[in-house]
Amino acid sequence: MKAIRVHETGGPEALSYDDVEVAEPGPGEARVRLAASGVNYIDTYQRSGLYPKELPFTLGLEGAGEVEAVGEGVEELSPGDYVAFASAQGSYAEYVVAPAENLVPFNVTLVEARVAAAVMLQGMTAHYLTHSTFPIQEGQTVLIHAAAGGVGLLLCQMAKMRGATVIGTAGTEEKAGLAKGAGADEVILYTEQDFVAETKRITDGEGVHAVYDGVGKETFDGGLDVLRPRGYMVLFGASSGPVPPLDPQTLNQKGGLFLTRPSLAQYSADREELEWRAESLFSWIGQGNLDVRIGGSYALEDAAQAQRDLEGRKTTGKLLLIP
Ligand code: NDP
């Protein structure tokens, strides 16, 4: 089969389109023929070596497709079932062999396989951020950075479902329009406007209850300034670069703020929690209550271009690789 592998870490040119053997599933595993694989920021961190891995390795953590074979002891899945996943290493490929406990079945007549692949990682992230990390209460106001991004568009929709007033930020007018379409009440063009001043103006100087920040370095300090006393800074990514170390006293000076830096793995390690999040997404999609924007689909061999576009701030919504 074809797979995108990394032999040496580096830029997008480090991605190699290789021929590799299709593996047999071992005990507790299943082999999935992929309909689509999701492209995520974490793949770029693995590629560059920021998140070190033993070389060579096949990239990709997310995807969806049809179970083709199951290993010993797997009773909950059978060939022909459709499954989606957010944590099975090696999904930039035609097939992946993964632990069955990481795979979530879905009804392919209700949710298209490409949509399932597109929603797992970013959708479960938006779910845990809005339902568990800072569980939004009706009537609260939140600021969502990069609101037209993959996680951003889903965060906007889920924050609205929970009854929030949503202020988004976006880099271009086109992106601002998409964020509004996803429910953002106000969108600040943070490439042209001072988002701190704008957020204070929109909230009549009161500030927001929580900031969801996946941008990191360029937005973090400003985010602390727009939180109301005892507000929550939910820092979940670093698309503009990592946030430098912080003196805890800053949180006191700015109003007794809370700061957390969570990852999906901490909010989906438990099978029940994984199923709760994934099944919520599938049921919202099936009912037409959650729109998953696939902003770009690329052939598997064009994975490097997909990553260039993601890192180059050129994309909206989700990027998929089609094997
Ligand atoms: P996005 O689709 O949001 O793409 C990144 C966006 O960030 C860009 O489109 C851009 O939007 C904005 N951005 C602002 N400054 C920069 C910059 N200097 N360089 C590049 N982009 C910039 O990506 P994802 O939705 O896939 O991920 C968003 C963030 O969430 C990432 O940091 C990712 O690592 C993190 N993440 C964290 C998870 C967790 O559990 N902690 C899980 C999943 C993702 P604009 O032009 O509008 O500014």
Over residues 166-208, the pLDDT tens digits come to: 999 999 999 999 999 999 999 999 999 999 999 999 999 999 9
- Residue to mutate, 41, 130, 187, ligand 1, most ligand atoms under 8 Å from C-beta: 41
pLDDT tens profile 253-295: 999 999 999 999 999 999 999 999 999 999 999 999 999 999 9
Pick the atom of ligand 1 nearest to 190's CA. Answer: 48
Which helix (H) or strand (E) element contains residue 30?
strand 29-39
Q: How far is the CA of 20 from the centre of ligand 1 (A)?
A: 31
Alpha carbons 184 and 143: distance in angstroms, whole number: 9
Tell me if 130 CB under 6 Å of ligand 1: no
Exposure letters 87-101 (e unless 16+ CB within 10 A, then b): bbbbbbbbbbbbbbe
The finding on whether 261 has its CB within 6 A of some atom of ligand 1 is no
Ligand 1 centroid–CA 87 distance in Å is 19
125 in contact with ligand 1, CB cutoff 6 A: yes
Residue closest by Cα to atom 42 of ligand 1 = 125
Atom of ligand 1 nearest to the CA of 39: 26
The pTM of this model reads 0.98
pLDDT at 48: 96
Q: What is the pLDDT of residue 17?
A: 98
Same fold, 2-120+268-322 and 136-261: no
Given a contact cutoff of 8 angstroms between Cβ atoms, the answer to whether 124 and 268 are in contact is yes
Q: How far apart are CA 115 and CA 230, in angstroms?
A: 37
The residue whose C-alpha atom lies closest to atom 48 belonging to ligand 1 is 171
Looking at residue 42, its pLDDT comes to: 96
Domain assignments of the chain as residue spans, ordered by start: 2-120+268-322, 136-261
* Domain 2-120+268-322, architecture per CATH: Alpha-Beta Complex (3.90)
**The two structure tokens encoding residue 174:** 């086109």
* 252 Cα: distance to centroid of ligand 1 (angstroms): 28
Residue 190 alpha carbon to ligand 1 centre in Å? 14
- Between the CA of 146 and the centroid of ligand 1 the distance, in Å, is 6
Q: What is the pLDDT of residue 182?
A: 98
* Bridge-based pairing state of the strands 186-189 and 208-213: unpaired
> Which residue lies with its CA nearest to atom 1 of ligand 1?
149
Ligand 1: centre distance to CA 175 (Å): 13
Question: Between the CA of residue 61 and those of 155, 204, 322, what are the distances in Å?
Answer: 21, 42, 14
234, 262 in Cβ contact below 8 A?
yes
Q: What is the reported pLDDT for 256? A: 98
Q: What is the DSSP letter of 146?
A: S
Please identify every stretch of the chain with a pLDDT value under 50, giving residue numbers as ranges.
none
Q: Ligand 1 centre from 145 Cα, in Å?
A: 9
Calpha distance 28→150 (Å, rounded): 31
Rounded to the nearest angstrom, the distance between the alpha carbon of 31 and the centre of ligand 1 is 30
Q: DSSP labels for 49-80?
A: TSS--PSSEE---EEEEEEEEE-TT--S--TT
Ligand 1 nearest-atom number relative to CA 318: 2
Fold type of domain 136-261 = Rossmann fold (3.40.50)
Environment class of 204 (CB within 10 Å of its CB; exposed 0-12, middle 13-18, buried 19+): exposed
